[in-house]
Amino acid sequence: MPRNGGLRIEVVIAEGTTFAVPISESTTFETLQNDVLKRAAKLKIGVPDGNLAFRLETKDGSIAFAEDVITEVLNVSTRPSVYLCSLPSEEVREEVRLDGLEISSLPDN
Q: Is the pLDDT of residue 93 over 50?
A: no
Say if CB 51 and CB 92 are below 8 A apart. yes
Average pLDDT over residues 92-105: 48
Q: pLDDT band at 49, cuts 50/70/90?
A: confident
Give every CB contact of residue 76 below 8 A, 6+ residues apart in sequence: 7, 8, 9, 23, 70
Domains in the chain (CATH in brackets) are 8-104 (3.10.20.90)
DSSP string spanning 14-45?
TTS-EEEEE--TT-BHHHHHHHHHHHHHHHT-
Written in H, E and C, the secondary structure of 66-85 is CCCEHHHHCCHHHCCEEEEE
Q: pLDDT band at 74, cuts 50/70/90?
A: very high
Written in H, E and C, the secondary structure of 84-95 is EEEECHHHHCCE
CB atoms within 10 A of CB 15: 10
Q: Is the pLDDT of residue 9 over 90?
A: yes
Q: Give the pTM.
A: 0.74
